[in-house]
Amino acid sequence: MASLADLPQELVDHIVSELGDDLPSLSTCALISPAFLHWSRQRLFRSVRVTASNLYAFGKLIESSPSLASHIHLLNIPKMDFSAVLPVSLLPRLPNLTRIVTHRDPFDFRHLSPAETTILAGAVARLTSVTVLIDRLWTLPAWAALLNACPALTHLAVHAEANGWGTWTADDVALPMPLPSTDPVLRLHSLRVSGDCKILSPLGAWLLPQHALAALYTLVLDVDYVLEDYSAPDARLPLVRAAASFLRELTLSLDPPMPLLPPSPPSDVPPLCLATSFPHLRALHLTDGPDAEIGPSLVWLAAFLAPPSLAPTAAGLQRGYAEVEVGDGPLERLALDHSMTRRDLLGVPAATWRALEDALLGVGACGDFDCAAGAGAGAGRGACGDAADAQILKPRTPTPTPTPTHTPTYTPTPYPHLRTLTFTGYVRTARCASDGFELFATALGERVPRLAGKGKGGRGVLVVRR
């Protein structure tokens, strides 16, 4: 008679995988048969939550059952459980530990002996992902010194919370950061920073000199600014510039909008531009804050997206228009998560919406075109006439010896791979208006008809969500 032990290992693995993260069911499965024990333990102990109340029991479990330690890949120490301090001697017993989520001081940095510091450095060298809460600035240099020797570290997330709103001053964050004593080994692929914006200054002083962001794929700067912080030097721009070459995904807070140039830029430094500064960026996510307004945010977005003006080519002049060469921008997803009402949309000038459309879709349309009078969605947006002329670009049959009377500007689509432009953050102000969101979405579509897929040269990329 066949038993559970006779089941193929692939089938056992599939059965256990169907339980997901159901811990009671996994515990029961481990007791049913030895055939399920190994696979159930793998899932039960892959992620371990260590608190001050179970820390002693966890240490005893690892001592009594060393085989369990090899299943642990993630240690989750609650960010607000500051009394949970891991014994350094415990970490070398976790050979497969690669991720840690913790509060500011899980190892009691200030009381480590030189021998314990050496043990800790060897134990964390395998870490690939670290998520840490920083609410005491003195712990950041301690973490920097520890992570400088982690060649496998690719994902770093830092959440900053000052003790009391805005209690960190410029002098507080100008603390010395340790640099690696040998060749830099940090090459992050993902950096996520949230909370108080002042944490960016010491983070930049640590990461930028060792070029830790040179191979960054994902950068999230979802930091909070209060009004008195607006006059402080913006620490976002150096981080974004350092990561621009390889960046695939960028998240920025637009409260306030990030400057596109440093305070005193050299004459040869161009402003930051998505079309030219980010050759691999595929996703751009923009968020707001308590003082953000949709109008300035859209003005900044249009300036950030607009490709630089280039000189007309000889081939374009031969065909009767000024052809502008624009890079093949890889941007696929653009999201603006901004609290706004229909009244906010109506208050944005029409020129701002047109600038956003032109930055994303180009001025005019693609193909071999002549300028001719007409009407439609693109009326008034070409460079060969103003709104009164209502000139648009239309195809023509080429002649052997064209004699152009003027040279209108033709701009091909700067971002041909764009699939979605998502607006979220609708604020419902009237409880009785059941159709408020529909009116909001309609008003937004009327402001950007080409992005909504209306008219000639339009592309249906606009998505409106609550």
User: Is 195 domain-assigned?
Assistant: yes
**For 168-254, where are the E strands, in sequence order?**
190-196, 218-224, 249-253
Residues 37 and 163 in one domain: no
Domain boundary among 283, 304, 332: 283
Domain boundary among 283, 314, 339: 283
* Cα–Cα distance measured from residue 400 to residue 91, given in angstroms and rounded to the nearest whole number: 79
User: Is 393 domain-assigned?
Assistant: no
Residues 34 and 73 in one domain: no
| Domain enclosing residue 17, as ranges | 1-44
Provide the pLDDT confidence category of residue 428 given band limits of 50, 70 and 90: low
Domain boundary among 232, 267, 283: 283
Residues 12 and 120 in one domain: no
What are the phi and psi torsion angles at 48 (to 5°)? -120, 130
Residues 159 and 247 in one domain: yes
Per-residue confidence (pLDDT) for residue 207, from 0 to 100: 94
Closest CA to 454 of 437, 438, 442: 442
Tokens of 25: 């069911």
Residues 31 and 172 in one domain: no
Residues 99 and 5 in one domain: no
pLDDT of 409 above 80: no
User: Is 326 domain-assigned?
Assistant: no
Judged by DSSP in three states, 466 sits in coil
Among 208-217, 315-324, 408-417, the range of highest mean pLDDT: 208-217
Residues 6+ apart with CB under 8 A from 106: 77, 84, 85, 86, 100
Residues 38 and 57 in one domain: no
* Cα–Cα distance measured from residue 297 to residue 255, given in angstroms and rounded to the nearest whole number: 8
User: Is 269 domain-assigned?
Assistant: yes
Q: Per-residue pLDDT averaged across 49-59, rounded?
A: 88
pLDDT of 38 above 90: no
User: Is 351 domain-assigned?
Assistant: no
The DSSP string of 372-388 is EE--STTTT-STTS-TT
Residues 36 and 68 in one domain: no
pLDDT of 316 above 80: no
User: Is 375 domain-assigned?
Assistant: no
Count up the domains in the chain and report the number.
Answer: 2
pLDDT of 254 above 70: yes
Give yes or no for a contact between 218 and 182, defined as CB atoms under 8 angstroms apart: no
* Cα–Cα distance measured from residue 269 to residue 242, given in angstroms and rounded to the nearest whole number: 14
Judged by DSSP in three states, 336 sits in strand
Q: Over pLDDT 70: what percentage of the chain?
A: 71
pLDDT in tens, 434-456: 567 888 888 889 999 999 988 66
Residues 81 and 51 in one domain: yes
Give yes or no for a contact between 148 and 120, defined as CB atoms under 8 angstroms apart: no
∠ at Cα 152 (149, 157), nearest 5°?
85
Residues 10 and 144 in one domain: no
Per-residue confidence (pLDDT) for residue 404, from 0 to 100: 45
Residues 50 and 9 in one domain: no
Count Cβ neighbours within 10 Å for each residue of 138-168 and write b for 16 or more, e otherwise: ebbbbbbbbbbbbeebbbbbbbbbbeeeeeb
pTM: 0.80
Provide the pLDDT confidence category of residue 218 given band limits of 50, 70 and 90: very high
Torsion angle in degrees (nearest 10) through CA of 251, 257, 262, 266: 100
Q: How far is CA 392 from CA 364, 367, 410, 453, 456, in A?
A: 7, 13, 10, 17, 9
pLDDT of 305 above 50: yes
Alpha helices in 148-293 (DSSP H): 170-173, 200-207, 236-243, 274-277
User: Is 151 domain-assigned?
Assistant: yes
308: left (phi over 0), alpha (psi -120 to 50) or beta: beta
Sign, CA dihedral 17-22-27-31, equals: negative
For 344, the enclosing helix (H) or strand (E) is: helix 342-346
pLDDT of 40 above 80: no
Residues 25 and 57 in one domain: no
User: Is 347 domain-assigned?
Assistant: no
